[in-house]
Amino acid sequence: MEKLDSSKILELKGVSKRFGGVAAVKGCDIEIEKGKITALIGPNGAGKTTVFNIVSGILSPDEGAVALDGKSIVGKSVEQISNLGISRLLQHSHIFSNLTIQQNLDLAINDTAANFWQSILGISKPDQALGITSNELLVKFGLLGKKDVVALELSFGQRRLVELVRALVNPHQLLMLDEPVAGIAPSLREEVGTALKERVTAGDTVLLIEHDMAFTLSIADKVIVMDKGEIIVVGTPEFIRNDQRVLDAYLG
Amino acid sequence: MEAYFLSLLILVTIYWIFSLSLQVSLGFAGFLNFGHIAFIAIGAYASSLLSKVGVPFGLSILLGATISMMFGYLVALPCRRLKGDYLALITLGFSLIVFVVALNWAGLTGGPAGLADIPSPQLFGISLASNSHFLVFSFFVSLCTYLIIKRLSATPFGTALQAARDDELGTQVLGISTFKLITVSFALSAFFAGLGGGLFAHYITFIDPSLFTLSQFIPILAIVILGGLTSLEGTLLATVVVVLLPEPLRFLSLSSSVIGPARELSYSLLLLILLVLQPRGFYGKIRLK
């Protein structure tokens, strides 16, 4: 793939994926701009999470190209893609249930944890170049007092928030969030939205899947609508709100 | 009577090493590792064979442990493609293969007749043939094993290993290689298992394949479950309990053909009772899925 416009952090070209006889994603072209919040929306089964899983390296595309910062990432492993700068919040809970909140977050910050010698000799260095500490985020979400609590003992919403903070502090250039506010109390959803907007102001880039339309349309700069594996509309939240094709896709 | 107590204490130190090393693969990494008894066997056979050709005791048990470690790494390699229970099946297969090789490669292992006359250990010119000397040494080795694994559990590597146990994909999306974690932890577990195996062989000076069957794995598994997954102190308490548990049988006037099976039965019963009544052991906090 040729070197692309530097304002595009992530680019998908003609990406397709089939599961048996079902075409989950059909020839999708997606461009994600730096420093923006882009939302990927669509009815259940539209192929949103499949697109996310292809970008994260959990699935490999049948066809098409995926490039991060102009370099192809197809065929790379999940951890390689994470280390290239994509932080991912997964759709279902993947918290480390026997570890404390602090331990969950430390692992996100420390990328050399799997290195046995660095670890046992005490020379593994946490990544400090984030401009935000996990503590600030924990304060925002009312979790600071629970830092040393084992994740098993948290409520569903609290676990989700810990996972969100974990994705935020994991060193990255692009943050991909799959339903970040699902199961989170409405009062806290606003906090999450504010936190994401603050991160973007500070230079972060967010790609988001979310079913809460009010939340999504209030924070997104750009919205991509998928239906049946295809991209049907791309536009600003105002444009999407009034587009007939979007209403048709949602209402069937 | 003194010799009897000393021998029990020696067994406690050796079984503590067996169970501490199982904590690494089962407790921290979360894999039901049936290969554990085979790693013990490899350490026992390799170090004994080395000793018999004149390699000094200290070096031979270290080399035995290292050979076992290499097998530990190899056995874990399929974890790149296989998840949890399937890797357990691989370790089970490996365990059976090692047993069959020990039984049939008579030229190397002595086959069913076993390896006799394993030289009594000597270290820096001091004979460890007496129980009291051996106890000091085996206690030292078990304490080192404990301290190293304890230290490891508190490092980012130890935390990451537990994270991979709780959620493999969740660990990978943070940029941490679970492949590295699992293979290194299996190698480490096998190293200490092999070290314990070498000590064991040089203590009893005679080994045969019947010492390394899956039923010999049951007491070690029972110790780890009783002590609680990842609880290294609980493991010590559990080792004392499990090693002493069948001892009263000795004082009943039963024939030896009854005592052997009764021992094995007592371990299996203990394991069953534990799993029903106290699945998280003395100090266990870990909940597996």
Q: What DSSP letter does each residue of B182-231 carry, written as one string?
A: HHHHHHHHHHHHHHHHHHHHHHHS-B-GGGGSHHHHHHHHHHHHHH-TT-
Same domain, A81 and A179: yes
Cβ <8 Å between A58 and B169: yes
Encoded tokens for A176: 């991909």
Dist CA B217 CA B40 (whole Å): 10
Same domain, A78 and A110: no
- CA-nearest residue to B286 within chain A is A98
* A175-179, A211-215, B229-233, range with greatest mean pLDDT: A175-179
Closest C-alpha to B168, from A145, A11, A106, A77: A77
A58 three-class SS: coil
pLDDT number for residue A252: 63
State percent of chain B over pLDDT 70.
99
Q: What number of other Cβ atoms are within 10 A of residue A87's Cβ?
A: 25
Whether A136 is in a domain gets the answer yes
Encoded tokens for A15: 């990406």
Cβ <8 Å between B166 and A96: yes
Whether A91 is in a domain gets the answer no
Residue B274 per-residue DSSP state: H
Closest by Cβ to B170, choosing from A77, A96, A110: A96
Q: Residue for token digits 């490996």? A: B94
- CA-nearest residue to B154 within chain A is A120
Alpha helices in chain A (DSSP H): 48-56, 78-84, 101-109, 116-120, 134-140, 156-169, 186-201, 213-219, 237-241, 244-251
B158 three-class SS: helix
Whether A196 is in a domain gets the answer no
pLDDT number for residue B275: 80
Same domain, A61 and A177: yes
What is the mean predicted confidence (pLDDT) over B23-37?
94
CATH code, domain carrying A45: 3.40.50.300
DSSP string for A177-245: EESTTTTS-HHHHHHHHHHHHHHHHTT-EEEEE-S-HHHHHHH-SEEEEEETTEEEEEE-HHHHHT-HH
What is the mean predicted confidence (pLDDT) over A155-160?
92
Same domain, A103 and A66: no
Task: Name the pLDDT band for B56 (thresholds 50, 70, 90).
Answer: very high
Same domain, A133 and A149: yes
Whether A193 is in a domain gets the answer no
Give the tens place of pLDDT for each residue, B89-102. Answer: 999 999 999 999 99
Whether A190 is in a domain gets the answer no
Same domain, A177 and A70: yes
pTM above 0.80, yes or no: yes
Contact B28, B153 (CB under 8 A): yes
Closest C-alpha to A46, from A236, A225, A210, A234: A225
Dist CA B172 CA A58 (whole Å): 10
- CA-nearest residue to A57 within chain B is B173
Same domain, A100 and A147: yes
| Mutation site for B-interface testing, chosen from A55, A56, A78 by largest number of B Cβ within 10 Å | A78
pLDDT at residue A137 is higher than 90: no
Contact B88, B36 (CB under 8 A): no
Q: Which amino acid is at B278?
A: Q
Cβ <8 Å between B172 and A82: yes
Residue A170 per-residue DSSP state: S
Q: Quote the domain boundaries for residue A115.
A: 96-171
Same domain, A55 and A180: yes
Whether A223 is in a domain gets the answer yes
Task: Name the pLDDT band for A3 (thresholds 50, 70, 90).
Answer: very low
Same domain, A163 and A226: no
Cβ <8 Å between B174 and A96: no
> For the complex shown, is ipTM > 0.85?
yes
Dist CA A206 CA B82 (whole Å): 33
pLDDT number for residue B45: 97
- Residues of chain B with Cβ-Cβ distance to A83 below 8 Å are 175
Same domain, A1 and A81: yes
CA–chain centroid gap for A28, Å, is 18
Whether A237 is in a domain gets the answer yes
* The total number of structural domains that make up chain A: 2
Burial class (CB in 10 A: 0-12, 13-18, 19+), B135: buried
Dist CA B211 CA B102 (whole Å): 11
pLDDT number for residue A127: 55
pLDDT number for residue A124: 61
Contact A12, A29 (CB under 8 A): yes
- Residues of chain A with Cβ-Cβ distance to B165 below 8 Å are 98
Whether A199 is in a domain gets the answer no
Same domain, A132 and A245: no
| Mutation site for B-interface testing, chosen from A81, A97, A106, A149 by largest number of B Cβ within 10 Å | A97
For the CA atoms of chain B, what is the radius of gyration?
18
**Smallest Cα distance from A103 to chain B, Å:** 7
Same domain, A116 and A235: no
Distances (CA, A) of A116 to A44, A46, B144, B235, B273: 42, 42, 18, 24, 37
End position of a domain, from candidates A110, A145, A171: A171
Q: For A118-145, b where at least 16 C-beta lie within 10 A, e where not — what string?
A: bbbeeebebeeebeeebeebbebbebee
pLDDT number for residue B271: 82
| Mutation site for A-interface testing, chosen from B147, B168, B174 by largest number of A Cβ within 10 Å | B174
